[in-house]
């Protein structure tokens, strides 16, 4: 059985690139080498990148959540189905109680015959 992810999402690399860019722009080692003016520009750019990070990750998550929702009803059915199967196992247990009583009768007969 394959355990691979369902699809390769083309947005994944975009999101990762934005993550790397956000980290680079906010890196103290980078910021404190810049002039005050360039530092402000870097922070403004980092803010714009942050907005894009949110948008892209939201779009990716929304697509997955939509597919998860489609399976949720099936999952609920499966859970209900298992409860039915559990009931079947309980009934089997009851059958064995009856069988035990029957065998009790057989034991007495066997003892009588012996």
Partner 1 sequence: MHRATTARLRVARALLLAAAGGLSAACASSGRVAQFQDFAAAGHAYVEALDPLLAEAGDAAVDADSVALLASREEWDRERRLERLEARNELLRRRLALLGDLRAHAGALAAYFAGLASLAGDDAGTRLGTALDGPARRVASLGEALGAADVDGRRVGALVGGSAELAVAHFRARALEEELRRRAPLVARQLALERAALEIVAETIATDLELVAQRQEAERVWEPWLGDALLMERDWMDARRRALGTRAAARSAGAAIAAVESLQAAFAALVENRSTIEHLRAFTDDAGRVLDLLEVLEEP
Q: What sign has the CA pseudo-torsion 21, 26, 30, 35?
A: positive
Residues that bind partner 1 (CB under 8 A): 1-7, 9, 12, 15-16, 19, 22-23, 26-28, 31-32, 40, 43-44, 46-47, 50-51, 53-55, 57-58, 60-62, 64-65, 67-69, 71-72, 74-76, 78-79, 81-83, 85-86, 88-90, 92-93, 96-97, 99-100, 103-104, 106-107, 110-111, 113-114
Residue 68: CB minimum distance to partner 1, A: 5
Q: What sign has the CA pseudo-torsion 12, 18, 23, 24?
A: positive
Residue 100: CB minimum distance to partner 1, A: 4
- Measured between alpha carbons, how far is 3 from 17 in angstroms, rounded to an integer? 26
- Measured between alpha carbons, how far is 22 from 42 in angstroms, rounded to an integer? 10
């Amino acid at each position: 059985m394959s355990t691979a992810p369902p699809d390769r999402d083309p947005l994944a690399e975009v999101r990762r690139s934005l993550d790397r860019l956000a980290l680079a722009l906010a890196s103290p080692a980078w910021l404190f080498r810049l002039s005050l003016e360039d530092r402000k520009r870097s922070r403004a750019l980092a803010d714009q990148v942050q907005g894009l990070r949110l948008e892209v990750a939201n779009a990716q998550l929304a697509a997955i959540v939509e597919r998860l929702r489609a399976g949720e009803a099936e999952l609920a059915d499966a859970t209900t189905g298992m409860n039915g199967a559990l009931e079947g196992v309980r009934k089997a247990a009851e059958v064995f109680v009856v069988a035990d009583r029957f065998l009790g009768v057989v034991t007495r007969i066997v003892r009588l015959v012996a």
